[in-house]
Structure 1
Amino acid sequence: MVYTIIITTTMNGSCQDAVGLRMYQHNMYAVVYSVILVPGLLGNIVALWVFRVYIRETKKAVVFMMNLAVADLMQVLSLPLRIYYYLNNSWPFGHALCMICFYLKYVNMYASIYFLVCVSVRRCELVMRPLRYNASRRKVDAVVCALGWLLVCLACLAFPLLRNADSDDGDGGAPPQADAVCFSELPMQMVSTSAAWVILIIAELLGFIIPFTLVLACTCLTAGSLRTKTTGAIHDRGEKRRALRMVLSCTVVFLVCFAPYHVTMPLDFLAKANTLSSCALRDLILKCHPVALCLASLNCSLDPIMYYFTTNEFWRRLSKPEIPERAISSR
């Protein structure tokens, strides 16, 4: 059996008013994206400026945080076009730009997840085995970042490729004008139910469950290092506490930004595939999933806050913005 999975609720048997749902989503997206635009833009620009100075001065996962800031900045730069669309209910910028902005949303989310895991693993490793990190490991970190970008960009191609730009189905039940709809409101290609579930399961496992498990494991190991003395481990308890704050911050970002989205994603699929018999449950899911998507976008503003409160180099650079001694001597 094959479903035509569409992003609207205008299918036969739907309980929700499609126009009302669309206005609810557009108003929410416009407000949330407007709120996070300026702090996300300024925070990540400042983060890149700080990390560029300190990337050779420290080994505390700066290269991963720098790539995380790049991923966040990519999404922030696409927000003005998103805000325009949700305020005006129309997309006049062409299908190609729509797909690029849509694609960057998911690249940011899964690149952020990947680099948050890398940050957690690196800080945990520096606490447990500090002497193993040397200059050659910086090259390994660069390779890990490059492979991460490649894997995320390839995997996220599925999101725009599954969209059907030529469909005549719109949110309001009438055929839309050319380029009138964009982002998640574009209907999807025809896929079998089994194939859709395979995609969902893979996305849940590789995109959230396994990364979150790794972050939790790093949090437990780092917290345990405060109670036990490990041979060759960092003896400065203040350093251990800072490392624990970092991995705890990564855990909080996972719970606040990414957990709600990955909980509601399969439920949203069931609701839009019209497989739920309860109208109240279906309408609740269709209203909760946009909230989860907004929380997923919030990470581009939360990450700079995490840098400031958990990274010594970031705090020192902003509180005493002088050039490091090593940079002066090199000049």
Structure 2
Amino acid sequence: MNESCNNTDELRTYQHHVYAVVYSVILAPGLLGNVLALWVFRVYVRETKKAVVFMMNLAVADLLQVLSLPLRIYYYLNNTWPFGHPLCMICFYLKYVNMYASIYFLVCVSVRRCELIIRPLRYNSSKRKGDFFICALGWLFVCLACLPFPLLRNNSSNQSHTTGSSLSSQDLVCFSELPMRPVSTPAAWILLIIAELVGFIIPLVLVLACACLTAGSLRELGAIHDRGEKRRALRMVLSCAVVFLLCFAPYHITMPLDFLVKANALRNCALRGLILQSHPVTLCLASLNCSLDPLMYYFTTDEFWRRLSKPEIPESMTFSRRLSCITGREEAEDD
């Protein structure tokens, strides 16, 4: 019954068209934007404390996700996966690793910018070194936490007849069309609650809390420079919140529903069809953050403006050279 009411050629064609179009649109800007971000942040990673380490790791996560898009586009355009099952599972796994790594580092950026505004004197060189440890720990945690995504897929049979499609048995399926292993309803609910709580709700609360704290700091009296810095920090934190709400909130609404459909825990055909039609759209929105994050860097960080306005040398080096020139002149005059 479940196979006959949702796994149709029309639904599969619709899903493939949505994925192919959206991934093709975000491929070029996502690739160029994140390469540019890494080029800019590489210069300023040691001279500034404004969460550049976290933004570099965020750009790496987005770039890795973008680099997997050509294989996905090929699959959705040609309706077959000729690259072997191991590569399929790797791409499927890395999709979620990079998405949740992006969520993790968006939280880190928000928390660091908020902390620098509220307690600016507590950040020192030892804490900067701690940022690298936080990044490494985050990558390890995300990689381990995303293991259930590929492990819940059935590796023994990857033939198209498992999807209910009329494709020939020689055509291989991949990604979301991989068959799921049998999962009991209680186990499914436990996994969903943990994924939603740790992967989305707690990060969203942290980002919104940072936005509120940063906005509240603007009410405090201070120098004009301090207020300008607070406004820039607020723009950054608000941008992180917008990315969360636009890209990740819709996906985390449909993700548990789609999981229940794939696990055959939902029986209503109309509801199943609605979920299977809306989930590809929300998954594409989750991938859209690859292109939105570079825009966030450009409009909310001084480093982008400084580097792009003077691409030959960073501002700190310019200041150092000017200082050395002045010093040299003074010494010459003394002689």
Settle same-fold status: TM greater than 0.5: yes
Closer, same or farther: CA 194–178 of 1 in aligned 2, 3 Å: farther
1:265 and 1:289 in contact (8 A); partners too: yes
Q: Where do residues 124-273 of structure 1 align in structure 2 (5 Å cutoff)?
A: 124-167=114-157, 168=159, 169-173=161-165, 177=169, 180-229=172-221, 236-273=226-263
Q: Secondary structure at the match of 2:239?
A: helix
Higher relative contact order, chain-length normalized (CA < 8 Å, sep 6+): 1
1:17 Cα deviation after fit: 5.2
Closer, same or farther: CA 320–104 of 1 in aligned 2, 3 Å: same
Task: Select 1:81's aligned residue among 57, 71, 95.
Answer: 71
Counterpart code for 1:36: I
Aligned to 2:296: 306
How many pairs were matched up? 318
Q: Where do residues 94-109 of structure 1 align in structure 2 (5 Å cutoff)?
A: 94-109=84-99
Q: Secondary structure at the match of 2:283?
A: helix
1:128 and 1:225 in contact (8 A); partners too: yes
2:7 and 2:163 in contact (8 A); partners too: no
Aligned to 2:330: none
Greater Cα shift, 221-230 or 171-180 = 171-180
- Relative to the length of structure 2, the TM-score reads 0.90
Identity %: 78
Aligned to 1:47: 37
Deviation above 6 Å: which 4+ runs of structure 1?
none
Counterpart code for 1:202: I
1:177 Cα deviation after fit: 3.4
State how far apart, in whole Å, the 2-side matches of 1:127 and 1:325 are: 22
Greater Cα shift, 265-274 or 155-164 = 265-274
Structure number with higher helix proportion: 2
Aligned to 1:5: none
Closer, same or farther: CA 170–278 of 1 in aligned 2, 3 Å: closer
1:68 and 1:115 in contact (8 A); partners too: yes
Q: Secondary structure at the match of 2:154?
A: coil
Counterpart code for 1:149: W
Closer, same or farther: CA 325–245 of 1 in aligned 2, 3 Å: closer
Task: Select 2:57's aligned residue among 36, 44, 67.
Answer: 67
- Relative to the length of structure 1, the TM-score reads 0.91
Closer, same or farther: CA 325–212 of 1 in aligned 2, 3 Å: closer
Unpaired segments of 5 or more residues in structure 1? 1-9
State how far apart, in whole Å, the 1-side matches of 2:127 and 2:47 are: 14
State how far apart, in whole Å, the 1-side matches of 2:264 and 2:183 are: 15
Greater Cα shift, 191-200 or 205-214 = 191-200
Residue 11 in structure 1 maps to residue 5 in structure 2: no
Task: Select 1:292's aligned residue among 276, 282, 295.
Answer: 282
